[in-house]
Amino acid sequence: MKKRKGYVEVDGADDDPDGQKEGLEEQQQQQQHYQQEFQEESGFQGDRNAVSSSPDSIRPLLQMGINADEMIHTDDDNGDYYGYNHSTSLYNEEDDNITGDENALIERNMNVDHPKSRRNWIAFWILGLCNNFGYVIMLSGAHDILKKLDPKLGTAAVLLADILPTLLIKLVGGPLLVYRMPYTLRIAIVVAFAILSFVLVGVAGSVSVALFGVVCASISSGLGEISFLSMTSCYNKNVINAWSSGTGGAGAIGASVYLAITEVLSPQRAQFAMLFVPILMIIAYAGILTHRPVSIVSTDLKKKDPFTTKEKLAMAKRLIIPYMLPLFLVYWAEYAINQSLYENLKFPNYKKLNTDQQYRMYQLIYQIGVFVSRSSRTIFSLNSIWWIAFLQIANFIVLFCDARFHFLHSIYIIFVWIFYEGLLGGLVYVNAFALISKNTKPDHREFSMTVASVGDTFGISLAGACGLAINKYLQRYNH
């Protein structure tokens, strides 16, 4: 592929009247040449004026990243500039010694095979892994420790401490304030709460301290999710696949690592062993990413909010039907299965695994399914996620009926069904946010990513409340 600055400068006609016609013909031929070359490289076949901006608005669009099928066109006293990029970002003096000239549209991460794009892909995979990995381990440890501190305490308290802070952050903090904070400050808060959660659970001598550790982990995970999802808008869009794959791997890898560590260490000591996780997050953010993310909106809280309340509501409204509602339904059905049906799908006569081991096997198989499907978008993608919602609700209905009437007589059928459940859950996550990134205007992507994540959290919260009643109902027939 021919390397060039990413823009074509078309000067005005020659001042010499005799050479004016010849100069115009040369310019037209040059424009046609670069237009043809651009179409061959990018696959864009539409109007080159698809995105139009004045020079003053070029910089924020560059910092945000432009769709693969979008073209930037500006017009000023020096001539016309046509530029393109798949995920544009201004180079600075450290990047090929090119300054941040407004008219320099550089081919940063032009395609997924670009070395810098690979660095960002690796960084986002690690960030996704760390954001959920440490949380999975900490929560498992908190559950074990709480059982020792108060054997009568059920999982409901842990569930509430787990989900309510995340819901509050996504519902209030994200749309109203958090998305205007500098990314580095957000990540610093995420890391601080992650470290605090490990330390509190590790030293917990009372239920209240252990539960507060769970709350800190929830704050870290919730703020991390909305921050990293919105941060994907500042890079090549393939990093969404990396983030989703990393979060999917956190469940299976985290559960396996915790199981291995607790074979040699107590659950409390295992928490201190996991302090490397937030450190790895810092390394990925500060050392692996090719450049610092810059928000499309102002990070100066003294400045006027770039969006009015009416505009925010309009943006949120457009997300409800195609993305947020199917996310809500899938996660409600998924977590209702996990929290209320798994423990009622046991096989007491199965000799290879006792009932407790069966429950842990269900969780592991589910996490493997999530990991596989969250890593699948590099192979295939979906244009709609509604059909996943219908299939996951059907899953809940079938497994609920089996938990009540026990008509599936083989544990291996349950294994396959749970793997399928995990596949659907991972598919809806990775494709929902990839579609939002694809179909949302560049200056709306950060806000949209933050708001859309409320859908799955609402689903999990309602599933937790419903799960208590469902489990109580099923235990009347299973005991």
* pLDDT mean for each 10 residues of the chain (479 residues): 39 49 60 53 42 38 40 36 33 35 35 64 95 79 73 64 84 65 90 94 87 90 90 86 92 84 85 92 94 66 67 89 96 90 88 83 89 90 94 96 92 95 94 90 82 88 84 80
> Quick count: other Cβ atoms within 10 Å of Cβ 291?
17
Instruction: Give the integer Cα–Cα distance in Å for 338 and 416.
Output: 15
Instruction: Give the integer Cα–Cα distance in Å for 197 and 36.
Output: 55
DSSP SS3 for 52: strand
pLDDT of res. 174: 64
Instruction: Give the integer Cα–Cα distance in Å for 95 and 293.
Output: 15
As given in the structure block, the two tokens for residue 414 are 């349950």
pLDDT of res. 351: 85
Q: Which amino acid is at 29?
A: Q
DSSP letters spanning 78-100: TEEEEEE-SS-----TTTTT---
Q: What sign results for the dihedral spanned by CA atoms 56, 60, 61, 62? A: positive
Residue 209 buriedness (CB in 10 A; 0-12 / 13-18 / 19+): middle
pLDDT of res. 251: 85
Name the strand (E) or helix (H) holding 428: helix 411-439
DSSP letters spanning 446-470: HHHHHHHHHHHHHHHHHHHHHHHHH
- 286: Cβ–Cβ under 8 A, 6 or more apart, which residues? none
Alpha helices in 233-339 (DSSP H): 239-261, 267-273, 276-283, 309-319, 325-336
As given in the structure block, the two tokens for residue 325 are 């509602």
Q: Which amino acid is at 358?
A: Q
Instruction: Give the integer Cα–Cα distance in Å for 363 and 155.
Output: 15
Q: For residues 84 and 105, is the Cβ–Cβ distance under 8 A?
A: yes
Rg of the chain in Å (alpha carbons): 26
Instruction: Give 51's strand partners.
Output: 72
Would you put residue 13 in left (φ > 0), alpha (ψ -120 to 50) or beta? Answer: beta
Instruction: Give the integer Cα–Cα distance in Å for 429 and 189.
Output: 25
Residue 192 buriedness (CB in 10 A; 0-12 / 13-18 / 19+): middle
As given in the structure block, the two tokens for residue 421 are 């459940």
DSSP SS3 for 363: helix
